[in-house]
Structure 1
Amino acid sequence: MIRLFSSQGDHGNRKSSGAIHNKARVTLGLLIALVIAPSWVDAQELKTVEVVHSPLQGIGAEPGVMRRDPSDIIKVDDLYYVWYSKGKISPGYDATVWYATSPDGHNWTEQGMSLDKGKSGTWEAGSVFTPNILVAEGRYWLFYTGTSKEYRKGFNPDSKIGIAVSDSPNGPWQRLDSNPALKNSDNPDDFDSHLVDDACLLVREGKYWFYYKGRQLGKSPAQTQMGLAIADHPQGPYVRHEANPVIPGNHEVLVWPQGDGVAAMIGTTGPKEITNSIMYADDGIHFSKTHRVKNGPWAGGAYRPEAFTQSGKGDIPEWGVEIGRAKKQLPFIHRFDVKEGN
């Protein structure tokens, strides 16, 4: 496997792996910097993972019902848990957060609403959606996106991210008084000055790492990028990392611990040299492409058993759930499985 170490720049550097004399090493580095284009990350040495898709029961396609934006999956005792947006229109901008459980990841039972819209006039009065889960300090922390405005033609989202906490994955959930936990930047030049969305959590180095997507004022959804904020406590405060954006693309945030580092699966949004790929960072910040992804999930949430353990044993998720699509059908929850290829 080749590791590439290019984060903010347009060109990557390749680490020398042989016992090369210092002078020769410098010369080689200069040559690489001068002649290698971004397409080098698509070299044949990269491995490929293939994603296969299949229906599931209980929260799949249903007439007149939208289910989308599934969280990552956790296992509590003998049950898997997933949270998702539910509503009656295709977008998530008029939704509430619901959850379901499963003994096997294929057959799910919808258990009910976890989080309703906020009070009129608040930052989350219009919709609550795109949930994700953190398990820490013996409690469950439900991260979610909220918008203040009613969805209508010409709608321009103003999303922020909040947190609710419970002693049980079944609730009840208590919103934090400190919400929103992350809002759009006040600096119009920042990559997330328009909105933030789609939390994905890891426990790393004794801290809480909060990956998210952001969009800059005046930019389109296709120009979404990925950021990172870190806190000492699950409730925050979360402080943006100075290296933001840590990935210059990605509309769906799917991150997991990969050994002692962090990996992210990139979908179809972003610079072409990183789309449909897995990227890896030893430090969780400076990501480089390591795998191609064939038929990747759409807005996937994965079963990541090592996400909050700091065990150093994390690996590419074997399965998860995603948004399913079918003709004349509102979005629904679908299953995906990952097969590692050559």
Structure 2
Amino acid sequence: MKNYILSFVIFFTIQSFNAQNSKVIDFEFKDISGIGKEEGVMRRDPSDVIKIDNLYYVWYSKGKIATGYDATIWYATSKDGYDWEEQGIALDKGKEGTWEGASVFTPNILIAKKKYYLFYTGVSKPYKKGTKGYRPDSKIGVAVAKSPNGPWKRCKDNPVIFNGKNKEDFDSHLIDDACLITRDGKYYLYYKGRQLGKSPKFTQMGVAIADKPQGPYVKYENNPVIKGNHEVVVYPLGKGVGAMIGKVGPENIVRSLQYSEDGFNFSKTHSVITPPHAAGLYRPEAFTDSGKGELFEWGVQIGKGKKGTLPFIQRVNRVDVE
């Protein structure tokens, strides 16, 4: 018993030391043109940013209400990451009554085998403005194109990830927010899940892995890999995987950057003063499998204005504090 107590004390002493000595970063938030604030228009859930030739691309949910539960997926391009030009719709809702018939949202992008794979979340239950107690039945699908400008064709095996089958599974209620990297010749799809009967504050993060970009994706047997986080933000960092944790989750991991050598077991490396809201990052090594990924410099997020302002897209820049 004494040895157990001693080990317990040593463990938490080390954890406390690491927390006190981790590096600190912050972010500056900048308004952008083209996909920023617009009366009566909602833009949210930006994808990670990619660069093709001389243009940056970003995809996002667009609609007329604040939530993503009545949206379609649009995209925009930019030469500098500040001045954006909206190009149009990328993916519409699925057929009425299907798993994606009510909304498609939270897009993200994967480049693989000279093609582009647009991952997205779909729900079948219609959402009405002002609805209380709405319970989304989300799943994750993918569409493919030969160009980032489309046209996008839904993969025949959609959805590629379903809710957990057992009530005790961390993702038995919903899954959402795909974020992808290429690693060891495989495709790692990180996502968030919530258990039946749990509130959003108990959202956790899992991963599924595939040999092919369109799947099938197999969930990691020891999910969840991060015991919190309402927003999925991962990036290649050296030979491992970095993750940014927002404001939702256990106190010991919120507002932090985490690192994992194997992509499954994460520990804190940085404290974050003001984390972005549902960020999409520019990650130039995300799909190269090069082992040379560096800490991100910038990205985009969901911006929030005064009360009554619909969500919009903002630029975020990393600031090193110490």
Q: 1:234 aligns with which of 195, 200, 213?
A: 213
Q: Equivalents in 1 of 2:240, 2:185: separation in Å?
A: 14
Q: 1:259 aligns to what?
A: 238
Q: 1:248 aligns with which of 205, 218, 227?
A: 227
1:276-287 correspondence runs (5 A) = 276-287=255-266
Q: 2:296 aligns to what?
A: 317
Q: 1:6 aligns to what?
A: none
In structure 1, stretches of 5+ residues that fail to align are: 1-26
Q: Is the 8 A contact 1:41 1:273 kept in 2?
A: no
State the identity %.
61
1:170-185 correspondence runs (5 A) = 170-185=149-164
Q: CA deviation at 1:36?
A: 3.9
Change in 2 beyond 3 A, CA 1:190/1:105: same
Q: 2:318 aligns to what?
A: 338
The RMSD of aligned alpha carbons is 1.4
Q: Deviations over 1:209-252 (max 9, x none)?
A: 00000000000000000000000000100000012000000001
Please give the secondary structure, in 2, of the residue aligned with 1:265.
strand
Q: 1:129 aligns to what?
A: 105
Q: Equivalents in 1 of 2:18, 2:238: separation in Å?
A: 23
Q: 1:203 aligns with which of 168, 182, 185?
A: 182
Q: 1:224 aligns to what?
A: 203
Q: 1:52 aligns to what?
A: 28
Structure 1 segments, 4+ long, off by >4 Å, are: none
Change in 2 beyond 3 A, CA 1:175/1:41: farther
Q: Equivalents in 2 of 1:280, 1:236: separation in Å?
A: 25
Q: 2:279 aligns to what?
A: 300
Q: 1:78 aligns to what?
A: 54
Q: Report how many aligned residue pairs link the two structures.
A: 315
Q: 1:37 aligns with which of 1, 8, 12?
A: 12
Q: Deviations over 1:117-147 (max 9, x none)?
A: 0001100001000000000000000000000
Q: 2:75 aligns to what?
A: 99
Q: CA deviation at 1:341?
A: 2.6
Q: Equivalents in 2 of 1:142, 1:254: separation in Å?
A: 16
Q: Equivalents in 2 of 1:164, 1:184: separation in Å?
A: 19
Provide the TM-score with structure 2 as the length reference: 0.95
Question: 255-264 vs 146-155, which deviates more?
Answer: 146-155
Q: 2:192 aligns with which of 205, 208, 213?
A: 213
Provide the TM-score with structure 1 as the length reference: 0.90
Q: CA deviation at 1:50?
A: 1.1
Q: Is the 8 A contact 1:126 1:150 kept in 2?
A: yes
